[in-house]
Chains A and B, each alone.
Chain A
Amino acid sequence: MQIIACIKQVPDTAEVRIDRETNTLIREGVPSIINPFDLNAVEEGLLLKERFGGTVTVISMGPPQVETALREALSLGVDQAVLLCDRAFAGADTLATSYTLAAGIKKIGAFDLILCGKQAIDGDTAQVGPEIAEWLDIPHLTYVRSIDEVFPAEPARASITVSRLVEGGYEQASASLPALLTVVREVNEPRLPSYRASLRARTQGITIWGVADLSADPEHIGIAGSPTRVSRIFVPEYDRQGQFFAGSPEDQAKALVAALRSAGLA
């Protein structure tokens, strides 16, 4: 199987803190990581490769420092890494990002499966996956929690069967290949880098493509290709100035039950 995993480098939002004086993000020392869900996508690609053979290619769009993320993916054992890097790609919203990634994927060549994370933890949009599928005119399935069956060999009827996490339970669904899946955390447990792969990753080349390398329409990339615009950014106020109940556990419980009853909630 020819598998492509889309990975994004993101600031580790777990490390992001707010400076309450200036109401800004404190980013000092905030590490950049591979989006956690994308590690699940890479892992799933590697597992499929172990079962069916083929290659796993990771692709990312971003600034030059994303090379670190790609090198980390190489140290997990992926075969090839592609970085779409050009100032002209900057300012992309999900529509332009998905267009650019789709253009990169077309240039990589034939594929059976594209894997994306459920969402990226910086923007949490969960849009880039389905949008890539639309640009490439292939089917997609979101929130995949397990890949149950794969029939990669029958070119005309190649398909994949999955279980998806939806409201209230799990949906079993299938898609013809090539297809795009977005995966949730419980799909697998990402492996750690292997010593051999890490050694190899150090010297392995990373393919870098700019705008001139992709047959991309300038109208669809970067800021020009982005219909949405961030007009304001602000820090939410979590402080509700709530009320503490006093006394023993029994007293506090009584006070709460009374409050809930008067709100019609108990």
Chain B
Amino acid sequence: MSSMKLFPDKCDGCEECVSSCPYNAVTMRDGWPVFGDACNLCGACAEACPSGAIERPAATASPAVDKTSYRDIWVFAEIRDGRPARVVLELLGEGRKLADQTGQNLYAVLVGYGLGTLPEELIAYGADRVFLAEHPALAVFRDEPYAAVLAAAVNQYRPSILLFGATATGRSLAPRLAARLRTGLTADCTGLDMDRDSGDLVQTRPAFGGNIMATIITPGRRPQMATVRPGVLKPLQRDDHPGARFSGRGEVVRLTISDDLLTARTMVLGFTAEETETVNLEEASIIVAGGRGLGSAGNFALVKELAGLLGGAVGASRAVVDEGWISYAHQIGQTGKTVAPRLYIACGISGAVQHLAGMQGAEIIVAINKNSEAPIFKAATFGLVGDVVQILKELVGQLKTG
């Protein structure tokens, strides 16, 4: 029976644990905290306790692996339109840093068919070596054969860390693979670090709709798996002669693919591009987003016009998607897309936590709102207070005249 452990001699009854519990599971009885049925053993109370009186129960039955028999960092090289997805380059940039800090190698795993010079590309962006799985049956991404190929490679080479982009593909494939490998997976990370002492990957991610951040580790199992939000990490400069800089010599290792790995019970039948979406939101470096403050679908056209002038993509709050001014594919936030562009211009958006959860990773946030108290201004780098329609017209006019 596992429950949070209280050391009564250290507890001074301050009730910090009560207010820290996201599940409302801690109550006070006779001056002591009691952990109720709703307790999920998340450890928030232990973290909040100023006197160290609460401990999370240690995992006992879980068999810990021999961590020293696993090494190196792998990045799954997701391909989009025949190129590595941008997040792959970002993962290689961060992976390079972590690998150098800890004296490990950085490898990319490339799965597909007819991959041409993509391995060299990955090496130019920081990989010491590329594992290549090429087969006609792998030409189009499908979860089952990709998971099988990756699982076989992991079992053979034993990487310590395995990273994926938190894309539709990554967030579908990584959990399937993690369950097969019986290991932990941290979703949608916004920060990665190494703990020098334990060698554990320290993974930071938002939870509760971005209201809190959690740091998560996988202390007893390997590989440590994470999906990482696109746009948060920085890619390296492309380097076409990396031989001297990196420990490997840009080796490409072909994985053997036995037929039993290729079984698939799903089929991809086609793809329809979202017609109004000129740029992929998750990878756009500029996004202009509109909210209910625009007042009408007609005014929303100004958002599109400004996005067009800046070469950016168009985003929206849920309120305007619900109004039907633009399709759901443009919704940004907790129940929409998560983006981290260099520039995010929020036009007539109040900045509800659910919206902030999807865009607070942007480098520069511009907020245009008539209410100077709107929460969006808290998140903003630059604030413009006034009528959004007037201001947008001004911006469009000034950008047009150069």
Contacts and interface: CB of A to CB of B under 8 A. Distances in A.
A266 B23 CA distance: 46
Contact of A233 (B44, B188, B372): B44
A222 interface: yes
Contact of A11 (B23, B206, B265): B23
Contacts of B2: 87-88, 90-91, 222-224
A91 B57 contact: yes
Interface in B311-348: 328-329, 334-335, 342-343
Interface stretch (B90-98, B106-114, B269-277, B294-302): B269-277
Contacts of A65: 37-38
Nearest to B195: A231
Given A170-B271, A252-B386, A253-B398, A219 B63 contact: yes
B185 interface: yes
Interface stretch (B126-134, B164-172, B242-250): B164-172
Interface in A171-188: 171-176, 179, 184-186
Contact of A131 (B39, B175, B273, B386): B175
A188 to B, nearest CB: 13
A135 B210 contact: no
Nearest to A19: B19
B384 interface: yes
**Interface residue SS majority, chain A:** mixed
A123 B216 CA distance: 12
B216 A228 contact: yes
A27 interface: yes
Nearest to B169: A166
A154 interface: no
B155 to A, nearest CB: 15
B60 interface: yes
B377 A127 contact: no
Given A165-B329, A167-B167, A242 B218 contact: no
Interface of B: 1-3, 16, 19-24, 37-44, 47-48, 56-57, 59-63, 80, 143-144, 147, 167-169, 171-176, 178-180, 182-188, 202, 206-221, 264-274, 277, 280, 282-283, 286, 309-310, 328-329, 334-335, 342-343, 352-354, 356, 360, 364-367, 372, 377-387, 390-391, 394-395, 398-399
